[in-house]
Structure 1
Amino acid sequence: MIASTEKIIELIDHDQYLEAFPILKQLRTDLTEEGYLELLKQMKQNGYKLFALYNENRIVALTGVGLQVNFYNKKYVFVYDLVTDKEHRSKGYGYKLLSHIEKWAKANGAEFVALESGIQRTNAHRFYEEKLNYNKWCYSFRKPI
C-alpha cells in the first residue's frame, strides 16, 4: 500500500524528465543528459512511458515501460528500466512501483509483464522471483554489429 506521502505518476513534461535523469543515471551510467533526452524523445514515439514514485515530493524510484504485442507474449508490458534511488533502496519502492505497473498493464489489456535483468544482478533476480513472483523463463541474447 502506498503511504500518504507517496504517489506514482507518469512523467510527461521536460521538467519532470530532467528531475528523473539523476535517478535513471544510477541504472544507465553511460547516459549523458543530452543523450537521455534525445533517446527519450525517440522512445516515447514508440510508446515508452516513464513512471515515478514520489515520496514527500521527491522521486525515489522510476520505471520505464512499453505496451507491446508479439506472438509469444500476445499483449504485454515490457519493463525497460527499474531503479530506486541509492539513498532509498530496500524500502519497498521497487515493489510498489512494479505492483502499480502490473495494475496498469492489466487495465490496458496486457496478459503479462516482462523484463530483462543482467546476468550479474543476482539480488535483483531474487527480488523479482521471491517478492514479485516473476518466472525466469528464457535467456536474452544480443550481438554487437
Structure 2
Amino acid sequence: MQELITSKQIQSAYKLMKELRPHLSLEEFTTKVVHQQKSMQYRLFASYSQSQNIIGLCGVMPFFVLYRDKCLYICDFIIASHLRGQGLGQRFLQEIEEMAKKEGYLEIELSSSFKREEAHRFYEKKMNFQKTSYVFVKSLK
C-alpha cells in the first residue's frame, strides 16, 4: 500500500478510479484529489500487483461529525473488476484499518450506492461493517 501524493502518482490512478467514478475526466479527477488533499486531509492509497500495476485504490479522510468518535471516512474504494473475489480487497481494507488504528481512529465509515450489492455483501460479511443508515442527497442545480 502506498499513498499517492504527487500529481503524476494521482494521474496514474485515474484508469482504475474511472471504474468507480466514470463521470470524472482525468483533469477533474486530478484537480479534485489535489484540492481535497489540501482542504480536507484526503489521502489516496494504492495497492499494487507484483508487476507494479495499481490494482486497488482507497481514498480516505477524517470525518469530523457529532455522531462519530474519531472516525476515518472511506470516500472511494475500488479493486480492479477483473481481480475481485480473490481476497485482494479484504487484505487492502485490513491495511487501511490497521493504519487507522495506528493513527488513533476509533471508527471507519463509508457509504455505498444501492446498486453495488456485491460490495455491500463484502463490507458486511467479509469486513464486519454494519449497515446503520441511509444517505440522502438533494440536487440544488
Q: Same fold (TM over 0.5)?
A: yes
1:79-105 deviation line (CA, Å, top 9, x unaligned) = 000111123222212111111111111
Residue 78 of structure 2 corresponds to residue 80 of structure 1: no
Aligned equivalent of 1:12: 5
Distance in 1, matches of 2:120 and 2:63, equals 22
Partner of residue 43 from structure 2, selected from 34, 41, 49: 49
Q: Percent identity?
A: 33
More strand by share: 1
1:126-145 equivalences under 5 Å are 126-145=121-140
Matched, 1:97 2:92: yes
Measure, in 1, the Cα distance between the counterparts of 2:122 and 2:81.
Answer: 16
Once residues 65 and 102 of structure 2 are traced to their aligned partners in structure 1, the CA distance between those partners, rounded to angstroms, is 18
1:34-45 equivalences under 5 Å are 34-45=27-38
Structure 2: 5+ residue stretches without partners: none
Cα shift at 1:106? 0.9
Q: Which runs of 4+ in 1 moved over 6 A?
A: none
What is the CA-CA distance between 1:108 and the residue it aligns to?
A: 1.2
Does residue 1 of structure 2 align to residue 23 of structure 1? no
**SS of corresponding position for 2:55:** strand
Q: Contact 2:79/2:88 (CA < 8 Å) preserved in 1?
A: yes
* CA distance in 2 between partners of 1:18 and 1:36 (Å): 8
Give the unaligned 5+ runs of structure 1: 1-7
Structure 2 residue aligned with 1:113: 108
CA deviation string 1:13-68 (max 9, x = no partner): 12211111100011000010011111111111110000011112111000100022
- Given that residues 4 and 46 in structure 2 are in contact (C-alpha distance below 8 angstroms), is that contact kept between their aligned partners in structure 1? yes
Aligned to 1:5: none
Taking structure 2 as the reference length, what is the TM-score of the superposition?
0.94
Residues 7 and 34 in structure 2, CA contact (< 8 A), matched pair in contact too: no
134-143 or 11-20: which moved more? 11-20
Q: TM-score, normalised by structure 1?
A: 0.91
Secondary structure of 1:10's aligned partner: strand
The alignment of Structure 1 onto Structure 2 pairs a total of residues equal to: 138
CA RMSD of aligned residues (A): 1.0
